[in-house]
Chain A
Amino acid sequence: MTSPKVSVSELDMHAYVDGRLPEKRREEVETFLAANPQEQERVGVYLQQNNMLHALFDPVLAEPIPPQWRTPDQRWSWRLGPVAAAMAWIALGSALGWLLRGELTGSSGRNVDFARRAAIAHAVYSPEVRHPVEVTAEQEEHLVRWLSKRLGGDLKAPHLVDLGYELVGGRLLPGEKGPVAQFMYQDKNGQRLTLYIKTDTGAERETAFRFSQEGTVGVFYWIDRRLSYALSGEVGKEELLKVANGVYRKLNP
């Protein structure tokens, strides 16, 4: 029968179905459900509803987008290509960086540059449909070995499936002082996050998480064991922090 210590509300039940409970609470709910077959069945049906909704409507995601939806209207038909957009970002970023120079001195100023570079790389590659990465996740081992070799560090591509993000693949990019790596992840809605990694960390060996909002792209960045990480995405700050924490945990098991 039900353990008297565990009290599970209707809200918990739904949060369980939607995967929004912290691990400990999730386990408590599971214990409760195991002891309450009727509730367990109900929760099972709700889970199934979500699966069925996806089965029924996810095919819509793959339908080609009518061209007229892609632009505001004829008056505003010009569109920045990714490269032009990146140039605009860099120009904007430089201006911002210059304006903020007085406040951000020394190493933190350089880290802001790092976050901005990560955001630009995210902005350029994450919308790519056909070529988002150079090496896909199917060749994960090769990808990690290759990037580790080029960067001269021991890289890992953390698995984030439990957070709802799958590894798409990765690519090598030019950084300020040498090559940097970018791993790309996406959730089942196609929402993409990128993890940008460089080996040059200057004097710092470890820092706390810092956040930077670069236009529409949010970036959490930190240094851990002589590698600099920046996780970028156009998701809410909370969601991004959750994944950043996940990345950190996976890299420090």
Chain B
Amino acid sequence: MNDADGIVAHIPPLRRYARALTGDTVAAEDLVQDTLERAWRRFGLWRRGSNLRAWLFTIMHNIFINQVKATQNRRNQAADGAEVKLPATPTQEERLDLRDLNKALRMLSAEQREVVLLIGLEQVSYDEAAKILGLPVGTVMSRLSRGREHLRLLMNRGSATAQLKVVK
């Protein structure tokens, strides 16, 4: 397989991941575009024979997380020093059902969302997720555990059986 085909083969999963991560078609397409531009430019730095998928997802992670930080900085400035609630806390009381998974995903922190999606949707191994995110595997596991539980509670909200509780 030549180099171009190697990258091209990973475009559909990169795009799926970007869509799930951003929840927005336009933002996702921009994220893929930025990732590919950077990947093509730096392809000479990719070590042949190493994991191309992990390399591409790492690039996407770096771009995404920088965007998230930039947004948070802007919000913090706008709030003039006041503490800003990040989207980790759900604000609605209404019950979220299957159709609202997308909405629930937006309520996870970017860090939890990345882990839940890389592992649950992209099905990368725990080690590969750790490599992509530049974290120890233990941190990945605790984010996964909290992310899934958070998602579960969000989806259960309003139903009588589930009580919101802080997990671990």
Contact = CB atoms under 8 A, between A and B. Distances in A.
Interface in A7-23: 10-11, 14-15, 17-18, 20
A147 B147 CA distance: 48
Interface in B110-168: 116-117, 119-123, 125-126, 128, 141, 144-145, 148-149, 151-152, 155, 168
Contacts of A50: 120-121
Interface string A159-202: 00000100000000000000000000000111000000000000
B102 A20 contact: no
**Interface size grouping (class) on chain A:** 35 or more
Nearest to A88: B2
Interface in A200-218: 213, 215-218
B5 A14 contact: no
Contact of B120 (A18, A188, A234): A18
Interface string A72-84: 1100100110000
Interface of A: 10-11, 14-15, 17-18, 20, 42, 45-46, 49-50, 52-54, 56-58, 60-63, 65, 69-73, 76, 79-80, 85, 88, 122-123, 126-127, 164, 188-190, 213, 215-218, 234, 236, 238-239
Given A53-B117, A72-B4, A213-B49, 8 more contacts: A14-B144, A15-B126, A46-B152, A49-B152, A61-B12, A69-B36, A80-B2, A239-B125
Interface of B: 1-2, 4-6, 8-9, 11-13, 15-16, 19-20, 32-33, 36-37, 40-41, 43, 48-49, 51-52, 98, 101-102, 116-117, 119-123, 125-126, 128, 141, 144-145, 148-149, 151-152, 155, 168
